[in-house]
């Protein structure tokens, strides 16, 4: 990219990177069936029959002020709403297609106009989701896999008929009828050519040069302003060098489903948000309103409770940068600002003293974010030259001052500088994320190698960490031996599902975190070590982010857990 273009891109995305938290709204005609947004395809509902639901769609309870108010109270800074999902129904007044909320329903109001006005009033950026390739209503839309073949014959489809007569004109409408649009969220680009993808980006820019575009505009890499991770996917520390987001469900569905009552708790939302923000990402959290126009009560309750925490702790969230440590910290997470570090401590890890390894700066002052008087917390700092080891100790009050996660602010001399080597954490465990390994392929064997520092030698269990998608048979993926070499010792075993964690900070439905104990090793000396893993699951990161493209089992990391401290 040219320097001038890069400067423009950096400027364009600044508001979004500072915002951190947005509301995703999946709302469409499918809400009348209350079975999620894929109901038309799942039940192969013919277009003519599906169109009939519009005659009953009358969301009289819709109130733009209330909806924007929910986002605001949750601490969200932008709203991304489905202007058209895969069913092809436009939730705004489209002049090019009558299958829209104004022309086809008794409701007859352009609710996007109402939302745009309200967002403007309440200082929230309005953004649109637009399903640009899948459209089950239009006879000529063509996706790589998911087409309406129950009404239309695939061979008779002429993609450019759809593209020029519906998709592009509707995108133009969205960019010209509702004022400034924060971003366009495209989805499911399978089959769209590189040329069409790039032209679409230019097309959007020609109407609104500052409108952001997410990476799902195309399946070709490096198109768009930022990376949308897979649905509900939270990456590893340092996995993405550019801006990224996690689109996430509050329960297990996007569009309203009366069967889905598996809600995340406010605590889980806060933890995931902190985890995402500490890795430099944004959280785009979904609600699926009912056909009447109501955001489900349970969603509002969870969002409001999460919002109360965010309101108290916003200084450590908005406008921050990612943690400089390349691994998950066992007590929580870190965010930074110039000359400042925020330690987000999970309340169940709260103790008399918190220790942080690897911070090189002098700490000028430490205090609790919850303490309006900013009273000093006693600290000690030491450095052991022989093993190049920095240790900060912070004495803490008896009880954690906030709900779920309590924040310690460190004022630093200069901007945060840390030892970015992998090293033992305070409990003695070492987390080695795949993304930071040196990988190689030799004689059909894939290896990953990490260097790390040991400060507390001893015996360790070696644990392989994978994320496994629901309904996946583990043995289909792990049926060969994996090998670990460390300090002259070798472990060889077929990994088993020894422990299943359903809701860890970085893992959630449709994935569970699986721990496999590979065996035990002994590290006798302090200092530098290396570990090599041989495993056929080691692979370069993939670009596919839609849920059906995501791997069924993803290798994340390997851990050394000191014996007796699991």
Residue ranges in contact with ligand FHN by CB under 6 A = 37-38, 187-188, 231, 247, 254, 546-547
Integer angstrom CA distances of residue 537 from 340, 484, 506: 38, 14, 19
What are the residue ranges of helices labelled H in 349-421?
none
Q: Considering the complex, state which of residue 84 and residue 453 has its C-beta at the smaller distance from ligand FHN.
A: 84
Q: Considering the complex, state which of residue 83 and residue 430 has its C-beta at the smaller distance from ligand FHN.
A: 83
Q: Considering the complex, state which of residue 459 and residue 552 has its C-beta at the smaller distance from ligand FHN.
A: 552
Integer angstrom CA distances of residue 277 from 19, 135, 243, 270, 469: 10, 33, 11, 10, 24
CA-CA-CA-CA torsion sign (213, 216, 217, 222): positive
- Least distance to ligand FHN, CB of residue 75, Å: 21
What are the residue ranges of helices labelled H in 168-212?
168-176, 194-207
Q: Helix or strand or coil: residue 135?
A: coil
Q: Considering the complex, state which of residue 231 and residue 461 has its C-beta at the smaller distance from ligand FHN.
A: 231
- Least distance to ligand FHN, CB of residue 37, Å: 5
- Least distance to ligand FHN, CB of residue 327, Å: 28
Q: Considering the complex, state which of residue 470 and residue 494 has its C-beta at the smaller distance from ligand FHN.
A: 470
- Least distance to ligand FHN, CB of residue 142, Å: 16
Q: Considering the complex, state which of residue 247 and residue 266 has its C-beta at the smaller distance from ligand FHN.
A: 247
Distance CA 450, CA 87 (A): 47
- Least distance to ligand FHN, CB of residue 27, Å: 11
Q: Considering the complex, state which of residue 246 and residue 323 has its C-beta at the smaller distance from ligand FHN.
A: 246
Distance CA 335, CA 366 (A): 15
Name the E strands within 288-370: 332-337, 340-346, 353-357, 363-368
Residue with tokens 């969220």: 185
Pairing type for strands 511-523 and 499-501 reads: antiparallel
Residue with tokens 């390997």: 558
Q: Considering the complex, state which of residue 187 and residue 433 has its C-beta at the smaller distance from ligand FHN.
A: 187
Closest of 483, 488, 553 to residue 518, by C-alpha: 483
Can you name the residues that pair with 452 across neighbouring β-strands?
422, 529
- Least distance to ligand FHN, CB of residue 131, Å: 8
- Least distance to ligand FHN, CB of residue 364, Å: 43
Non-local CB neighbours of 413 within 8 Å, separated by 6+ positions: 339, 361, 362, 363, 364
Whether the Cβ atoms of residue 463 and residue 562 lie closer than 8 Å to each other: no
- Least distance to ligand FHN, CB of residue 286, Å: 7
Residue with tokens 């309440």: 122
- Least distance to ligand FHN, CB of residue 82, Å: 7
Residue with tokens 């439905």: 509
Q: Helix or strand or coil: residue 489?
A: strand
- Least distance to ligand FHN, CB of residue 85, Å: 6
Q: Considering the complex, state which of residue 36 and residue 562 has its C-beta at the smaller distance from ligand FHN.
A: 36
Distance CA 566, CA 276 (A): 24
Q: Considering the complex, state which of residue 214 and residue 320 has its C-beta at the smaller distance from ligand FHN.
A: 214
- Least distance to ligand FHN, CB of residue 273, Å: 17
Q: Cis check for the bond before 170: say yes or no (omega within 30 of 0).
A: no
**What end-to-end distance do the CA atoms of the chain give, in Å?**
47
- Least distance to ligand FHN, CB of residue 358, Å: 36
Q: Considering the complex, state which of residue 136 and residue 450 has its C-beta at the smaller distance from ligand FHN.
A: 136
Distance CA 53, CA 115 (A): 23
Name the E strands within 299-403: 332-337, 340-346, 353-357, 363-368, 379-384, 389-395
Q: Considering the complex, state which of residue 145 and residue 383 has its C-beta at the smaller distance from ligand FHN.
A: 145
Q: Which residue minimizes CB distance to ligand FHN?
A: 546
CA 288 to chain centre: 18
Pairing type for strands 244-248 and 281-287 reads: parallel
């Amino acid at each position: 990219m040219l320097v001038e273009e890069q400067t423009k891109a950096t400027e364009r995305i600044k508001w979004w990177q500072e915002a951190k938290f947005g509301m995703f709204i999946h709302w469409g005609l499918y809400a009348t069936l209350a079975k999620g947004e894929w109901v038309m395809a799942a039940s192969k509902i013919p277009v003519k029959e599906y169109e009939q639901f519009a005659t009953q769609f009358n969301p009289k309870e819709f109130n733009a002020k209330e909806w924007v108010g929910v986002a605001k109270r949750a601490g969200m800074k932008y709203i991304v709403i489905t202007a058209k999902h895969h069913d092809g129904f436009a939730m705004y007044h489209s002049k090019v297609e009558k299958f829209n909320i104004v022309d086809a329903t008794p409701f007859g109001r352009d609710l996007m106009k109402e939302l745009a006005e309200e967002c403007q009033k309440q200082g929230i950026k309005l953004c649109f989701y637009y399903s640009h390739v899948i459209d089950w209503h239009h006879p000529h839309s063509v996706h790589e896999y998911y087409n309406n073949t129950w009404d239309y014959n695939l061979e008779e489809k002429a993609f450019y008929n759809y593209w020029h007569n519906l998709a592009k004109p509707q995108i133009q409408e969205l960019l010209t009828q509702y004022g400034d649009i924060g971003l366009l969220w495209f989805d499911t680009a399978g089959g769209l050519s590189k040329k069409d993808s790039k032209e679409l980006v230019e097309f959007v820019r020609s109407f609104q040069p500052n409108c952001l575009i997410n990476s799902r505009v195309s399946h070709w890499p490096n198109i768009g302003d930022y990376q949308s991770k897979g649905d509900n996917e939270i990456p590893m520390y340092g996995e993405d060098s550019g801006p990224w987001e996690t689109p996430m469900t509050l329960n297990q569905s996007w569009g309203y489903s009366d069967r889905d009552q598996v809600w995340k708790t406010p605590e889980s939302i806060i933890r995931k948000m902190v985890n995402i923000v500490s890795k430099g990402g944004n959280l785009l959290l979904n609600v699926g309103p009912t056909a009447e126009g109501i955001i489900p009560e349970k969603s509002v309750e969870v969002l409001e409770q999460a919002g109360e925490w965010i309101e108290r702790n916003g200084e450590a969230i908005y406008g921050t940068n990612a943690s400089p440590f390349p691994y998950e910290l066992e007590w929580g997470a870190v965010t930074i600002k110039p000359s400042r570090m925020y330690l987000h401590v999970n309340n169940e890890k709260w103790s008399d003293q918190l220790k942080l390894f690897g911070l090189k700066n002098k700490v000028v002052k430490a205090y609790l974010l919850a303490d309006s008087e900013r009273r000093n917390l006693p600290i000690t700092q030491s450095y052991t030259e022989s093993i190049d080891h920095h240790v900060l100790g912070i004495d803490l009050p008896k009880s954690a001052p906030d709900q779920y996660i309590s924040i310690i602010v460190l004022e630093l001399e200069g901007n945060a500088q840390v030892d970015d080597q992998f090293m033992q954490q305070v409990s003695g465990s070492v987390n080695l994320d795949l993304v930071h390994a040196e990988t190689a392929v030799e004689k059909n064997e894939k290896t990953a190698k990490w260097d790390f520092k040991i400060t507390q030698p001893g015996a360790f269990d070696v644990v392989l960490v994978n994320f496994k998608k629901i309904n996946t048979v583990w043995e289909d993926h792990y049926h060969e031996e994996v090998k670990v070499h460390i300090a002259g010792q070798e472990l060889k075993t077929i990994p088993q599902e020894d422990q299943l964690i359903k809701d860890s900070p970085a893992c959630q439905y449709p994935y569970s975190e699986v721990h496999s104990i590979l065996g035990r090793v002994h590290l006798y000396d302090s200092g530098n070590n290396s570990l090599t893993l041989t495993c056929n699951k080691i692979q370069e990161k993939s670009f596919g982010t839609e849920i059906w493209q995501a791997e069924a089992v993803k290798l994340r990391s390997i851990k050394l857990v000191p014996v007796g401290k699991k």
